[in-house]
Amino acid sequence: MDAILDSIDQALREKGLSDSAASKLAVGHPSLIKNLRMPRDGEKRYNLPALMRLADVLDLEFYFGPRRPAGRPDNGVSLRNLSPDADSPSGFLIIPWLDAGLNRSSAPVAFSRAWLATHGLIPDFLLVAQPDKISVEDRPSGDSLVLLDTRPVIRKGHGLWCYREPGRISVSWVTFSGSVTVVQASDPEQEPQIIHGPPGGAISIIGKVVWLGQSLLMKGKI
């Protein structure tokens, strides 16, 4: 049995795609999966870049790294397209948590690839965080999630940013001006914190908030 082909076959059935259709979406020609199925003498070798693109089309995770905890995280989700042509070939993208090491790899939200592209967001630089403190007017109550763009090159001007400070993850207004970074204090009665040079030390900038959502479910009351 070939575990890779088994995963591909299951994903093809779930998405309603043929071998040739999925191959064409992944690499531009219809023979990729056909070639993968061809018997080989000795150990079978895969074209990894092509396999990565195929995994993206089929909403499969392509992972190589340290062993992860067995079992599915309590808040894990698995999303599939309703149809092969929904939004884009791979439809929706599940974003990883900021702290994936906390026995959780994927946040409980997914975003349309078309929406991400429209807003110029690059998936490789996106993370979801659950801040401990949101220091903005009319901030949402209850559990909140923020989608973060972590690209360092966008650290300029004024905007809503997520950062680490001792003991918590916070969201507040941040201004970048040359080599100076001004962070609005979490406590409205405190003076803004000014960081000279690259952000670091007590405050570490994580990413710009490009989406903010909240849960309207009261704990214990559904």
187 contacts: CB under 8 Å, gap ≥ 6: none
Model confidence band, residue 66 (pLDDT cutoffs 50, 70, 90): low
Mean pLDDT score of the chain, rounded to an integer?
A: 74
Give residue 186's pLDDT.
Answer: 55
Q: What is the DSSP letter of 218?
A: B
Instruction: Indicate the SS3 state at residue 43.
Output: coil
Exposure pattern of 11-29 as b/e (b: 16+ CB <10 Å)?
bbeebebebebbbbbbbee
Higher per-residue confidence, 1 vs 138: 138
Q: At residue 219, does pLDDT exceed 90? A: no
- Among 54, 64, 60, smallest CA distance to 21 is for 54
Model confidence band, residue 93 (pLDDT cutoffs 50, 70, 90): confident
Model confidence, pTM: 0.54
